[in-house]
Structure 1
Amino acid sequence: MENSKIKLLNNSINKILKSELVTDMREYYAQLPTTIIEDQTVYIFDGLIPKELNFKIAKHDRFLPVPTHIHTFIELNYIYSGTCNQIIDGKKVQLHQGDLIIIDTEVPHSIAKTDVNDIIINILIRKEYFSSMFFENLSNNGIIFDFLLNAISYTTTHNQYIVFHTNKNNHLKEDIRQILWETYFPTVCSYPFIENYLNLLFIDLLRVFEYDAHNNSSIKNHAFEQRIDVLRYIEDNFDTCTLKSVSSHFNYSPNYLSTFIRKSTGKTYSRLIREYKMAKVCFYLANTNTPVDEIAEKCGFSNLTFFYKKFNEIYEKSPKEYRATNR
């Protein structure tokens, strides 16, 4: 990005917003739902992403702390300048300029008061986004894919975050700047432009080797790797595999595999297969002009009435509406 555009972008980002002048947030927090986690009241952040969109880009409001909360989306915090101190699942995490943190759903965390020079960019992303937009881009790419797969699996335990020290990565810095430029100075096709740069952002994260990973039980423990192996195999072969064939591949009995999948994901085998097929449908809807009925059949839905019913149940919109909002 040219220096003139960087200067203009920095001026826009550094402006103090009206929301940053608020000094008392008690009324706002009083309206939020809460839950109890380990005897602590925790706020639930939901509905922050417009219903018709998959993600939201916004600058973090400075000057006030954010109390302990969880959210139903995946959150990325990029430290554009300054520092940011968070308490994540009881652990103090200090972030500096150029650091990027990915926080899984349902992870209790709070953010300390920030100063005028502490610019934090929040990227809020629906879980469904990864199973559609990243369907073919991040498969089999190590820790990021493992983390995102766990985040979208709807398992009962979500306790992960990853910190990336990206200050020396110019490609990633440029990804962020381009995303912010299209956010602050939107024009024709800004949304798909940002969507593509988000893809590049995650691909560039795969190249960042200096990272801190946290999980109450190691991210690479045997149970986790076993789950990843099974789910990757199903993802790679969902068009043709059956419960019996997957069981045979891993030397499990069908009953054991069925129970294993349910415990690992909270879903039945048939529902998991259906969701993989739906993810593929979403990929084709967002990236091709192929007729909907043809996409459905191509992705393994022979009963179109069943397909349309399930699609509406999952995404709360028709395939046509999904295509219109994700192009």
Structure 2
Amino acid sequence: MNGDELRSFLLTNNTKQATEWDAIKKAFNPETVEINGEQVYVFDMIFDLTVTPIEDPIGISQQLPTAYVPMHIHHYIELIYVYQGQCTIVMQNGKMTISEGEIIIIDKRTPHAVEGISESDIVIDIKLKHDYLSSSFLSRFTHKSIISQFLVDSLINNRRVNNYLHFPFENRSNIAGIMEHIMCEYFEKDFCSADMINSYLFILFTELIRHSNNSNSIKPVDTKQDDIVLEFLKYIEDHYKDCSLTKMASHYNYHPNYASSVLKKATGKSFKDLLQIQRLNKAALYLTNSDLPVAEIAEKVGYTSLSFFYKKFNDIFLQTPKEYRENKL
């Protein structure tokens, strides 16, 4: 299936008659639970009587214009993507309209419903059995960058507070192409389609993290403070070899104590800790991508004492530089 075939497939689907809500209730007999004083249904399936509850790592379906499902929750994370047009997401604290190219990720056990889909709107629903927004999964993105680690932590904290993440991408963003590939593989499965989908999902969440600091919907309330933190982290990444707190603070016309406090509050780490992490991450890259001697690598990343470099490297990676290089071969 290619992009044109996918569009034709989705347009044809949109003309189908959805299963009536009474039939869904009768077939699945969903239980209800009370959340924040409201009774909501519990569903871990696609709302189509021809589809069984999710057995694969993901389940993808199309929200039909004629479908109706009241407030409900899932035990899985749900990703809603507007392929064309728009739709309205109903949450317990209000409504949100998302438009073409945008994504909303709704956390587990978060009451919600989808409404306002017309015949010209195409809305895609993806239920994720694996938690692609867990700390353990997202740590795969952060191995060599203190900035990406900060963005991931911000993403996780925002999800924890709001129970959803909204990514207001435009339809011409990279997200559209990634989502198209995922749907093509899912709706017309071929050899290794499951592996392809998992790979595209990794790319998708990488793209979400890359753009998370550009989205007003997922920024912390103190946007100015967040921008300052990113500037500090960028400075450390760019000047890790000879960086100092005094130099960095002076570069931005701040007092060193203020810069130190901002970094500690935002990241939970001191300036020295962040500098060590960045230097050691660079050293790890040299170890895996060059034949340079360890002593030369230590010097290149800003260490004057080889024994101190060995100690700090072992503290972070729990192995010597030599062991790290051998294990990565």
Task: Calculate the TM-score normalised by the size of structure 1.
Answer: 0.57
1:57-115: CA deviations, max 9, x gaps?
A: 22223312321111111111110001111112321100111111111111111111422
| Alignment of 1:200 onto 2:198 | no
Number of residue-to-residue matches in the alignment: 220
Of the candidates 194, 198, 218, which is equivalent to residue 213 of structure 1? Answer: 218
Map 1:218-297 → 2, pairs under 5 A: 229=268
Contact 2:100 2:171 in 1 (8 A): no
Cα distance, 1:168 vs structure 2: 5.3
Secondary structure of the structure 1 residue equivalent to 2:70? strand
Residue 8 (1) aligns with residue 5 (2): yes
- 2:61 corresponds in structure 1 to 58
Name the residue aligned to 2:141.
137
Instruction: Decide which of 103, 115, 132 is 2:118's aligned counterpart.
Output: 115
2:43: which partner in 1? 45
Residue 184 of structure 2 corresponds to which residue in structure 1?
181
Is contact 1:100–1:166 with CA below 8 Å preserved after alignment? yes
Cα pair 1:141 1:206 within 8 Å, conserved: no
SS class of match (2:197): helix
Equivalent residue letter for 2:17: L
Amino acid at match of 2:6: L
The alpha-carbon distance between structure 1 residues 107 and 142, as it changes in their structure 2 partners (threshold 3 A), is farther
CA gap 1:42/1:142 in 2 versus in 1, 3 angstroms: farther
Provide the rounded CA distance (Å) in 1 between the counterparts of 2:104 and 2:37.
26
- Please say if residues 82 and 103 of structure 2, whose CA atoms lie closer than 8 Å, have aligned partners that are also in contact: yes
Q: Does 1:67 align with 2:70?
A: yes
Q: Deviations 1:21-46 (Å, cap 9, x if unpaired)?
A: 14521242351111012322101122
Q: Which has the larger radius of gyration?
A: 2
TM superposition outliers: structure 1 runs of 4+ over 6 Å:
217-221, 225-228
- Contact 1:130–1:148 (CA under 8 A) maintained in structure 2: yes
Q: Distance in 1 between matches of 2:267 and 2:64?
A: 37
**8 Å CA contact 1:162, 1:211 repeated in 2:** no
Aligned to 2:279: none
Cα 1:144/1:10, change in 2 over 3 Å: farther
- SS of the equivalent of 1:53 reads coil
Q: Deviations over 1:3-34 (max 9, x none)?
A: x932211001111379x514521242351111
SS in 2 for 1:66: coil
Secondary structure in structure 2 of the residue aligned to 1:65: coil
- Corresponding residue for residue 26 of structure 1: 22
Q: TM-score normalized by structure 2?
A: 0.56
1:133-183 deviations in Å (ceiling 9; x for gaps)? 5552356544555445786xxxxx774212111115532211111111111
**Runs of 5+ unmatched residues, structure 1:** 152-156, 234-297, 299-327
Structure 2 residues not aligned, in runs of 5+: 47-51, 227-263, 274-326
Find the aligned partners of 1:67 and 1:214 in 2 and give their Cα distance: 30
Going from structure 1 to structure 2, the CA distance change for 1:103 and 1:111 (only over 3 Å counts) comes to same
Report the alpha carbon displacement of residue 218 of structure 1 after superposing the two structures with TM.
9.3
Q: Deviations over 1:258-304 (max 9, x none)?
A: xxxxxxxxxxxxxxxxxxxxxxxxxxxxxxxxxxxxxxxx9xxxxxx
The alignment's C-alpha RMSD in Å is 3.7
